[in-house]
Amino acid sequence: MTLHIDIPEETLSGILAKAFRNTAFVTGFVITVLILVMAVISYLWTPYDVTKLIIADKTQGPSLAHWFGTDHFGRDILSMIMVGARNSIAVALVAVGIGMGVGVPLGAFAAARGGLVDEALMRVNDLVFAFPALLSAIMITAIFGPGAVNAIIAIGIFNIPVFARVARAGALAIWPREFILAARAAGKSSTQISIEHVLPNIATLLLVQGTIQFALGILAEAGLSYLGLGAQPPMPSWGRMLFDAQTRMVVAPWMAIFPGMAIVITVLGLNLLGDGIADILDPKSRRQR
Amino acid sequence: MSLLEIDSLSLTIGDTQILKGMELSVAPGEVMGLVGESGSGKSMTALTAMRLLPHAARATGRVTFDGIDILAATEDQMCALRGDDIGMVFQEPMTALNPVKTIGEQVAEGIRWHTKVTRAAAEERARQMLDRVGLPQAKFPLSRYPHELSGGQRQRVVIAIACALKPKLLIADEPTTALDVVLQAQILGLLRDLVAESRMGLLLISHDLAVVTEMADRITILRRGEVMEAGDTARTLSEQLHPYTRQLAQASMHVPARARTHDTSQGKPLIQVEGVTRDYPGRRSSLLKRAAPIRAVDDVSLSMQPGQSVALVGRSGCGKSTLARMILALDRPSSGTIRFRGETITGKSEVELKPARRDMQVVFQDPYGSFDPRQKVEKLVAEPLHVLEKKPTRAERREMVAHALHEVGLDQRDMDKYPHEFSGGQRQRLSIARAIITRPKLVVADEPVSALDVSIRAQILDLFAELNQKLGIAYLFITHDLTVARAITDEVLVMHDGKIVERGKTTEVLDHPQSEAAQALVAAAPDLHRAIARKMQEQG
Amino acid sequence: MTAYLLKRLAISLATLVLASIVVFAVLEILPGDPARLMLGMNASADQVELLRNQMGLNQPLLLRYLHWAGGLLSLDFGRSYTYSVPVIDLVRERLAVSLPLALIALALSTIIAIPVGLFSASRRGRAGDTISMGAAQLGVAVPNFWFALMLIYVFAVWLRLVPAGGFPGWSAGISPALKSLLLPAVALALPQAAILARVTRSALIEVLNEDYIRTARAKGLPYRTVLWRHALRNAMIPVLTILGLQFAFLLAGTIIIENVFYLPGLGRLVFQAITQRDLIVVESVVMLLVAAVIAVNLVVDLSYAVVDPRLRSRQ
Amino acid sequence: MKLWKTLLAAAVLAVATATSAFAARTDLVIGIPLEPPHLDPTAGAAAAIREVTYANVFEGLTRIGPNGEVLPDLAESWTISDDGKIYTFKLHTGVKFHDGADFSADDVKFSLDRARAENSVNAQKQLFAAIDEVDVVDPATVKVTLTHPQGSFLYNMGWGDAVIVSPKSADTNKEKPVGTGPFKFESWAKGSSITLLKSDHYWGAPVFLEKVEFRIVPDAAAAVPALLSGDIQAFPFFDPDSVSQVKDDPRFKVVVGATEGETILSINNKQPPFDKLQVRQAISYALDRKAIIDGASAGLGLPIGSHMSPANKYYVDLTGHYPHDVAKAKQLLKEAGLENGFKATLKLPPTTYARLGGEIIASELRDVGINLEIIPVEWAQWLDQVFTKKDYDLTIVSHTEPNDIDIYARKDYYFNYDNPTFKKVIADLELTSDEAKRKELYAQAQKILADDAVVGFLYELPKVGVWDAKLQGLWESAPIPANDLTKVKWSE
């Protein structure tokens, strides 16, 4: 299987014009921005203090005072979702950063070198892929203890081979291009070529994969927190809120519904954004109207 | 009565007008040639006749086949026509066949679908058909998969599929563009015979005036979706009444004006290739048996003088590109040595190669693929400056780029644009600007004009010729197109199966080829002069 | 073909050996003493030390690795620290839950996804496509444990159609056993089906843009026939890849779902074993899962060759 | 919201009535939170072993009743010598083990000797420490001689660890327990459930249930739906935190009883700054027990002021010793030179009360300037790091052994608390038999612990049972870990 990369030959304004005609992109973009804005606002203001427990107010249903109700410690769920967004975004984003930061150079290097280096790196990749990701994440948190930082590491490690693979496949599709040959004829080293020509041309591919991994990271963080292995109190996290909610589903279903929806909407937004970007930048996938 | 009648056909895809008031007809047994440069709407005409247009396309006008209104027919009616009464051959044989089905299945499928015969009967007919197109059962059983065949063989399979049910009309859309000249001649011969045998109408679509002239009874010349001129082939091309027709014909036969000033026999050779061989590891057929390596270049020796323009011609796969890459030190020979200006460049590291790189540059075939779309012209054209001893300042760099652009006929303001803002011909000029910016002694050009339309190609050949004169750059042209070789080179090397089989002055070799390989190339090369002459003769 | 097969096999084996070293090393640094856990708060340090000796925890590292790895080869996985029964018996019991669960979920997701993908691809850009792909987008975004919670409350607590969790065992009869696997399987399958449907659709669309589809259409075959005969098989490679990944995921990644439905499956066994520091169980189950993933990948690789004749002649 | 609930209730009811056409049931599925590692109560400490086997599969000479009283069991009656050193037990006759073997005095001698032997793996060997000699008088009579009089001997013999086993099956009880009880072991699906069946030849009063399944439900989240959907009919040890989910449902009965579990915020007394009395006292003032009980235990459980169950006869109410007083706490921290507060860690084992309580305590201590980092740990890590290596600042745990105030006098116990006065009081207690004097000493001990604010005393862990309203005869309290099913039946 060979990857085919179409390099769009368009101006930025052309791409933007197209972007804002793409429903998936616009929807995804709006949702993602809203979530980000919510997370930023939470630094400055939340309806209630999420570190303050008011046991007397526990498990109140949605009302004007508490739009999404309160949790088992009387904390405002809306405020917790706002602050929790911070955690989810931070964990997923840093994990993507780790994956990209390590994976992309590895993949690009493997593609540039080829031969034994490539083979060895890909076998290591296979090795990591052979471990069920969640299981390994559980083991990692079992060793280092639960917490947001270890969740980031656990998720980030499994982003590495993903990005390495994507970067390698993308780079392998770029390397046979004539402009690479031209650069080689101009005496550029493979590292220089990787940086100057290969990476910019697979950037969109990585961007799309990045949004996918970002979304998966949010799901993974929620899963780990749900098992009690993610962010620890008093830092609210969406997965942890679901963990707390599951024993109170009958009396306080809002405790499960709203954080769950926050996850769904965020992941949906990111996936739509990724789809939109892929759609806009891949001329072959132009929708027929 | 015409078999296919296209009347005031207009076609839009989205907001783009593709065809405007298109008129065309094909009579039974007639070969109609449809000629035009890229983007003229040739292929869309063919797809309209098949009604295989993209979803967003809207066609108005009249298209009738055998009395049936194609634009109004139901999908079922069209399915009954396609493959049975109208066959179609496509341009790209490498992708036109389903990779996961055997050639037998693919040929028999249409037969079974239309005639409802048993599998065995359909396979028998498929076998006959494949035999007819030159793929005899003994060598090419039905169980072969497409990837086991070469490009020419695959095109034969596609023709077998299209002609399996002896359609009344065969549409061939650039059927030979992806093939080398020798294969092209073979496939065209096959098409001609098949059409004659069963009195098919043939709509032959091509950008190559010579090919169409050789094949067609009548010709339609298309430009930007409009018919420029249509009529009897010989008359149209000999009279050249329409200015566009004349422009096309002249461009096809264009030879740049060159004064031969470079004496080729004296001085130190610029490049010396001595006994160079390049092997690639072969496919392993089993675990234990290591397959014999594939020898791409076999003990080749040659030398070039400074300022000399040399053509390296040969059929596709003969090893000419591999040889060129080794000369450019982008690939390493398995054995033998290459010397550039007397210095060995084989086995040197990138750093050691820097001085050599400064003096040799490359121009590639594809004007689209040879530029990184993410970088601006300034950076792209300046890329070879990387090998200079002293890195130029930014101002110096811009100055050098501006100069190079000027030399290739582009404006210096172009350096702040992206490559996609240029047309194909302009990009090839950029490519040349990049190649000459370091003032090299040698430029290797790998099929530099074969992807260009004829009129553009003439301009680029002129540019090459001009620069050769002005800067004294030596060229090594890699090409399968003898007209290019004839137009611009002093000497020709004919390569076949990894070996150089003939070498000599260009005109001598092309007019009196000695080796079998050279003879085949010369015989197969389409030539507009000859074609028109022949047509005139036929018609008396 | 044989060369290709042998090479794949060799790579798989090497990966397996490397994986066993990684697993062993990782568990070595896992904090917590299994012996102390078994004896509880009231045991003395001497008692703990005695037990550590009995469990062989005080032997040198390499010796223990070789002993363990050697055991794996002869399917002797050792004895569980907490249950003090052979690990292989535990695994066999748990596999009787996890394997059917994974298979049912995989079957469900395939049965849902492939037709939806075909439907969407053939109606590209139309309402049917938009709706089904919108649903798929949603499906991909829903965390499966949250979905499982919602399912439990609707179907088990409110409607009481199926058990809320637990597994009666196959001895209780096929029907009750299957019934208790239904909700978990649905919770696992739907998000996977969403992914698979999207992959199927995009693979099909990619294939439908290929030249040979036009060749087939030019033969006079109707669109549907072309879709089935020419497009689907070519679109199978990415679909197979995802199926392979999903099986691996389903077999191992059921940890959360098995916890939500308290099913006695492999996922929960390993999760419990980690918390209880039943290292021997963790090691064995992880290795088993890794072996399963590698085996599935191998099968997928080989099935590529079945689907695509080009790979058959390549090494 | 209201209408929505009514509609759903109607739907649920409709389905429920359609399926509930059963007569007096004889089967029961009981949910237990932890899976026993094996089923031999004489060879392991896990409470889960007793929760399955005690009084059901295995029986002892005596047994503990639902309120902690000592009742005769395999011993029909007994006499005690005047010096309190010789116990003569008269045994029931016609008793058989589940494998058909006859029960006799030989089995009693075997069981007691096995438990106190040098290489015994019994988890509570101290129960048998006072035994000097066990003699078989005749097949129905056993004489036990003690080295010194021991008031709690009959009580000790009622523990799960002191059950009588047969020499024939003693070694295989872990996997296939064989006892004399009314239920015999049927099967154990690891990780899932343990099934007991009614024994055909039980010596005592016949039991009502035919089949009992102990389903392992480790997760509070899974327990509620299982209960609501009727899969499991009783959770004798229900997570108090989940009680709100079922307490208004007429189908279920919620029973709150007492345990011997003092839930405390353990403090490492040698770890600065907790070595300062003011700091520990500040913590005690900072704790709001009511909020903790409400938030971590659904309002169930009694506050404590020292290490003693309010149900205990030696209990002294010291809950007023440190009232919730943030200002006072801050004042004390200032006196300790920590007016700017400080950071510390709080390691939490995986129980609900610890995890929830930890969050609340962290919030309360933050109010006085102590910033706690919460570190959740598994039991294995907790035992290793906190209990054994004493590598901790604060932790929350429930000490469930009855009457265990002496742990504060133990050498190297994980509190790192060393007070000679307290040790003296505990040593005196050992030697004192006068009840008034004992009461006085116990009061003194409790007072010292409170004064020293050794740990943060929180509340007495409640035993919350939830079961089908039609189910009768389950224990309400848990004087010892057990699920005695001998009196359990379904009402008509």
Question: C residues 34-63 near D, CB within 8 Å?
Answer: 34, 36-43, 45
Per-residue model confidence as pLDDT tens digits over D182-227: 999 999 887 788 999 999 889 988 999 999 999 888 777 778 878 8
D314-337: b (≥16 Cβ within 10 Å) or e: bbbebbebbebbeebbbbbbeebe
Per-residue model confidence as pLDDT tens digits over D345-361: 999 988 889 999 999 99
Whether D408 and D370 have beta carbons less than 8 Å apart is answered as no
Token couple for A242: 């679901």
Counting CB pairs under 8 A, whether chains A and C reach 3 or more, is yes
Q: How far apart are the C-alpha atoms of B311 and B314, rounded to whole Å?
A: 10
Q: Is the pLDDT of residue B216 over 60?
A: yes
Q: Is the pLDDT of residue B261 over 80?
A: no
D121 by Cβ neighbours in 10 Å (0-12 / 13-18 / 19+) ranks as: middle
Nearest to C141 among A131, A226, A268 (CB): A268
Nearest to D295 among A73, A142, A232 (CB): A73
Domain parsing of chain C, residue ranges:
2-73, 87-314
Interface of A with D (CB under 8 A): 51-53, 55-56, 58-59, 61, 72-73, 142, 145-147, 228, 232-234, 246-251
D416 backbone φψ class: left, alpha, beta (φ>0; ψ -120 to 50): left
CA-nearest residue to D9 within chain C is C158
Torsion of CA B445, B446, B449, B451, to 10 degrees: -150
CA-nearest residue to C291 within chain A is A130
pLDDT, one tens digit for every residue, chain D (492 residues): 444 555 555 544 444 444 444 457 889 999 998 888 889 998 877 788 889 999 999 999 999 888 878 899 999 999 999 888 899 999 999 899 999 899 999 999 999 999 988 888 787 787 888 899 999 999 999 999 999 888 778 888 998 889 999 999 988 898 899 999 999 999 988 778 899 999 988 998 899 999 999 988 877 777 887 888 788 899 998 888 888 888 888 889 999 888 888 999 999 999 989 999 999 999 999 999 999 999 888 888 899 999 998 888 889 999 999 999 999 999 999 999 988 889 999 999 888 899 999 999 999 999 999 999 998 888 778 888 888 889 999 999 998 777 788 889 888 889 999 999 999 998 888 777 788 898 999 999 999 999 999 999 999 988 899 999 999 989 888 788 889 999 999 986
* Residues from chain B contacting residue A201 (CB–CB below 8 Å): 372-374
Check CB contact of D281 with chain A, cutoff 8 Å.
no
pLDDT band of C178, cuts 50, 70, 90 = confident
**Angle between helices B103-115 and B151-163 in degrees, nearest 10:** 10
* Residues from chain B contacting residue C3 (CB–CB below 8 Å): 284-287
Instruction: Indicate the residue type of B466.
Output: E
Q: How far apart are the C-alpha atoms of A243 and A249, rounded to whole Å?
A: 11
CA-nearest residue to A226 within chain D is D221
Per-residue model confidence as pLDDT tens digits over A56-80: 888 888 988 888 989 888 899 999 9
Domain A12-288, CATH class in plain words: mainly alpha
CA-nearest residue to A126 within chain C is C15
Check CB contact of C267 with chain D, cutoff 8 Å.
no
Per-residue model confidence as pLDDT tens digits over A143-155: 777 888 888 888 8
Cβ contacts from A onto B, under 8 A: 73
Q: Span A215-235, mean pLDDT?
A: 86
Inter-chain contact B286–C212, Cβ cutoff 8 Å?
no
- In sequence order, what are the beta bridge partners of D88? D79, D143
Counting CB pairs under 8 A, whether chains D and B reach 3 or more, is no
Selection from A32, A158, A148, A171 nearest residue A98 by Cα = A158
Tell me the nearest-neighbour CA distance from A200 into chain B, angstroms.
Answer: 7
Per-residue model confidence as pLDDT tens digits over B51-74: 988 878 889 999 999 889 999 989
Q: How far apart are the C-alpha atoms of B315 and B321, rounded to whole Å?
A: 11
Token couple for D321: 């010793």
Q: What sign for the dihedral angle of Cα D31, D32, D34, D35?
A: negative
pLDDT band of C301, cuts 50, 70, 90 = confident
Q: How far apart are the C-alpha atoms of A260 and C147, rounded to whole Å?
A: 9
Contacts 24+ apart (CB under 8 A), D92-95: D92/D140, D92/D203, D92/D204, D93/D139, D93/D140, D94/D203, D95/D180, D95/D203
Check CB contact of B196 with chain C, cutoff 8 Å.
no
Token couple for A97: 């950063």
Check CB contact of D228 with chain A, cutoff 8 Å.
yes
Nearest to B55 among A10, A200, A288 (CB): A288
B327-353: b (≥16 Cβ within 10 Å) or e: bbbeeebeebebbbbeeebbeeeeeeb
Q: Span B233-261, mean pLDDT?
A: 83
Tell me the nearest-neighbour CA distance from B202 into chain A, angstroms.
Answer: 31
- C268/B516: higher pLDDT: B516
Q: Is the pLDDT of residue B265 over 60?
A: no
Compute how many other C-beta atoms are within 10 angstroms of the C-beta atom of residue A13.
8
Check CB contact of B92 with chain C, cutoff 8 Å.
yes
In the Cβ-directed half-sphere of C219, how many Cα atoms lie within 13 Å?
Answer: 32
Q: What DSSP line would sit under D184-234, residue for residue?
A: EEEEEETTTEEEEEE-TT-SSSPPS-SEEEEEE---HHHHHHHHHTTS--E
* Residues from chain B contacting residue A5 (CB–CB below 8 Å): none
- In this prediction, residue B108 carries a pLDDT of 93
Check CB contact of A15 with chain B, cutoff 8 Å.
no
- The CATH number fitting domain C87-314, selected from 1.10.3720.10, 3.40.50.10680, 3.40.47.10, 3.40.50.80: 1.10.3720.10
Chains that touch A (3 or more CB pairs under 8 A): B, C, D
Torsion of CA D202, D207, D213, D219, to 10 degrees: -120
Compute how many other C-beta atoms are within 10 angstroms of the C-beta atom of residue C70.
10
Compute how many other C-beta atoms are within 10 angstroms of the C-beta atom of residue D444.
18
Expressed in percent and rounded to 5, the helix, strand and coil fractions of chain C are 80, 0, 20
pLDDT band of A1, cuts 50, 70, 90 = very low
Check CB contact of B384 with chain C, cutoff 8 Å.
no
Candidates A124, A135, A229, partner chain C, best to mutate (most C CBs within 10 A): A135
Domain parsing of chain A, residue ranges:
12-288
On average, the pLDDT of chain B sits at: 87
Segment among A166-170, A182-186, B217-221, D195-199 with least mean pLDDT? A182-186
Check CB contact of A2 with chain B, cutoff 8 Å.
no
Q: Span B401-407, mean pLDDT?
A: 90
* Residues from chain D contacting residue A250 (CB–CB below 8 Å): 224, 228, 245-246
CA-nearest residue to A7 within chain B is B373
- In this prediction, residue D190 carries a pLDDT of 78
D476 DSSP assignment: S
Inter-chain contact B330–A197, Cβ cutoff 8 Å?
no
Inter-chain contact C42–D123, Cβ cutoff 8 Å?
yes
Check CB contact of B126 with chain C, cutoff 8 Å.
no
- Respond yes or no on whether the N-terminal peptide bond of residue D273 is cis (omega within 30° of 0): yes
Inter-chain contact C143–A285, Cβ cutoff 8 Å?
no
Q: How far apart are the C-alpha atoms of B419 and C175, rounded to whole Å?
A: 67
List domains and CATH numbers for chain B.
4-252 (3.40.50.300), 371-439 (no CATH)
Q: What is the pTM of this model?
A: 0.81
Q: Span A37-49, mean pLDDT?
A: 89
Query: Residue A262 CA to chain centroid, in angstroms?
Result: 15
Inter-chain contact C211–B98, Cβ cutoff 8 Å?
no
CA-nearest residue to C246 within chain A is A132
Check CB contact of C187 with chain D, cutoff 8 Å.
no
* Residues from chain D contacting residue C181 (CB–CB below 8 Å): none
Inter-chain contact D383–C276, Cβ cutoff 8 Å?
no
Selection from C276, C269, C273, C272 nearest residue C252 by Cα = C269
